[in-house]
Amino acid sequence: MLYFTIALLSAFMVGLVGASGLRLRGRIRRRLARSMPMVDDRAVKQILETGVLTAEDDEPLDQDEIDEEERRFWSERWDEPEER
């Protein structure tokens, strides 16, 4: 009886892990599908004519803001690792 219970619990756990893996795979595929740029006929024509596909950014990057964040990041104090 004990072996049957252990086998049943093991099968349940395998099923649970498999189901969660499938859900994770679906979630990752949906997220990647949204972030992948679509290449339509106009884009293919541009690539054939110029050899380059230019994409329009949502908004230009603010270099001053980037520099300030980088300066702030590197000026931050870090805890020293403990020696053993």
pLDDT digits (tens, 9 = 90+) for 6-47: 999 999 999 999 999 999 999 988 888 777 777 889 888 998
pTM (two decimals): 0.40
Round the CA-based radius of gyration of the chain to a whole number and report it. 26
Pick from 32, 37, 29, 30: nearest CA to 58: 37
Percentage of residues in the chain having pLDDT higher than 90: 44
- pLDDT of res. 60: 75
| pLDDT above 80 (res 58) | no
| pLDDT above 90 (res 67) | yes
Alpha carbon distance 53, 43 (integer Å): 7
- Look up tokens 């690792």; give the residue: 81
Pick from 58, 30, 56, 57: nearest CA to 42: 56
Q: Are 43 and 33 in contact (CB under 8 A)?
A: no
**Widest Cα–Cα separation across the chain:** 73
